[in-house]
């Protein structure tokens, strides 16, 4: 794909998307575009509709509006078909198999790709290279991991499906700032491996530091959109999401 093709066809195209829970409209006319190789963040407060937006993109919830992956309409494709196309979601609740080991959890992540034998081992090595901590703890049960390790496992498991677009729902949730930094550093490096990222975060500072562009979602609608560094210096974003000018999590 040439540079100009990439520009003309976004990897993920969301247009005037609506998602409802019965009478409650949780996502109301959201438009968002992500090009291959980009890291895009969506920030916003509790209840803004961030998780709902990702769930709809993944096919876990029905939606109305434009929803395309590499030009293909996603409506009508079930979750498994979307995973086959290269989409993957790391959910807000990590949803690991607590009684199973790190290795078992990772292997289950490759299930949709039906990897086995040498291909499976190769992919495991690939994940272990990026998360050496998981390699050290491969025989440990998931429910005995620390919070940071669990998040690494959730991301590692998603990577086993060889996604081209990884959607992360609040990877920083419940983690200390240093661990958040570690995880986001790994996430940023995934771009070099050809993985694009849609990053949903309440931690606006970390998200804007890690992304190319950001969207501010408020009560189901996009309130602001721009280059991440412009958003980070926008007084409205600073006042509401960055705690004024203070660096409270440094
Ligand atoms: N299963 C559900 N049934 C009814 N309403 C729901 C359901 N799930 C979410 N909602 C509502 O939809 C809105 C958006 O919720 P959502 O979980 O997408 O927000 P969020 O931005 O991810 O919030 P948080 O930062 O707290 O995770 C909220 O008003 C929420 O109460
Ligand atoms: Mg959420």
Q: Please state, in angstroms and rounded to a whole number, the distance separating the CA atoms of residues 212 and 235.
A: 19
Domain with CATH 3.40.50.300 in the chain: 1-86+165-250
Q: What dihedral angle (degrees, nearest 10) is formed by the CA atoms of 70, 73, 76, 80?
A: 10
Protein residues with CB under 6 Å of any ligand 1 atom = 21, 24, 26, 44, 46-52, 92, 202
Closest CA to ligand 1's atom 17:
51
The pTM for the full model equals 0.92
Q: Please state, in angstroms and rounded to a whole number, the distance separating the CA atoms of residues 153 and 192.
A: 20
- Please tell me the number of the ligand nearest to residue 20's CA: 1
Whole-number Cα distances in Å, 167 to 76, 83, 89, 121: 20, 11, 5, 24
Strand order of the β-sheet with 12-21 is: 24-34, 12-21, 64-69, 72-73
Token reading at 90: 């790391």
Q: Tell me the residues surrounding ligand 2 (ion) with CB < 5 Å.
A: 50-51, 92
Please give the chain's pLDDT, 250 residues, in tens: 555 554 579 999 999 999 999 999 999 999 999 999 999 999 999 999 999 999 999 999 999 999 999 999 999 999 999 999 999 999 988 789 999 999 999 999 988 777 888 989 999 999 999 999 999 999 999 999 999 999 999 999 999 999 999 999 999 988 988 889 988 999 999 999 999 999 999 999 999 999 999 999 999 999 999 999 999 999 999 999 988 654 444 4
Residue 244 has a pLDDT of: 61
CA of 63 to the centre of ligand 1 (A): 15
CATH code for the structural domain at 1-86+165-250: 3.40.50.300
Out of 18, 45, 52, give the residue to mutate to test ligand 1, the one with the largest number of ligand atoms within 8 Å of its CB: 52
Quick one: which atom of ligand 1 is closest to the CA of 52? 18
Q: Give 35-80 pLDDT, tens digit per residue.
A: 999 999 999 999 999 999 999 999 999 999 999 999 999 999 999 9
Contact (Cβ atoms closer than 8 angstroms) between residue 49 and residue 61: no
Token reading at 164: 């081209």
Residue 250 has a pLDDT of: 46
Closest CA to ligand 1's atom 30:
47
Q: Give 150-177 pLDDT, tens digit per residue.
A: 999 999 999 999 999 999 999 998 898 8
Instruction: Count other C-beta atoms under 10 Å from residue 195's C-beta.
Output: 21
Whole-number Cα distances in Å, 12 to 37, 212, 224, 241: 11, 15, 19, 26
């Amino acid at each position: 794909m040439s540079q100009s093709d990439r520009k003309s066809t976004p990897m993920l195209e969301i247009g005037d998307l609506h998602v409802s829970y019965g009478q409650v409209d949780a996502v109301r006319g959201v438009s968002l575009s992500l090009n291959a190789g980009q890291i895009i963040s969506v920030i916003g407060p509790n209840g803004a509709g961030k998780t709902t937006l990702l769930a709809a993109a993944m096919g876990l919830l029905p939606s109305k509006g434009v929803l395309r992956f590499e030009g293909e309409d996603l409506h009508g494709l079930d979750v498994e078909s979307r995973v086959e196309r290269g989409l993957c979601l790391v959910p807000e609740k990590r949803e690991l198999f607590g009684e199973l080991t790190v290795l078992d959890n990772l292997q289950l992540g490759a299930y949709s790709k039906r990897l086995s034998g040498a291909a499976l081992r190769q992919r495991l090595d690939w994940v272990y290279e990026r998360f050496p901590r998981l390699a050290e703890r491969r025989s440990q049960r998931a429910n005995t991991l620390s919070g940071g390790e669990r998040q690494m496992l959730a991301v590692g498991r998603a990577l086993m499906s060889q996604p081209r677009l990884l959607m992360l729902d609040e990877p920083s949730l419940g983690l200390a700032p240093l661990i958040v930094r570690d995880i986001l550093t790994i996430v940023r490096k995934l771009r070099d491996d050809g993985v694009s990222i849609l990053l949903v975060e309440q931690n606006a500072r970390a998200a804007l530091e890690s992304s190319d562009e950001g969207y501010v979602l408020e009560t189901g609608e996009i309130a602001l959109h721009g280059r991440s560094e412009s958003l980070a210096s926008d007084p409205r974003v600073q006042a509401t999401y960055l705690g004024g000018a203070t660096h409270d999590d440094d």
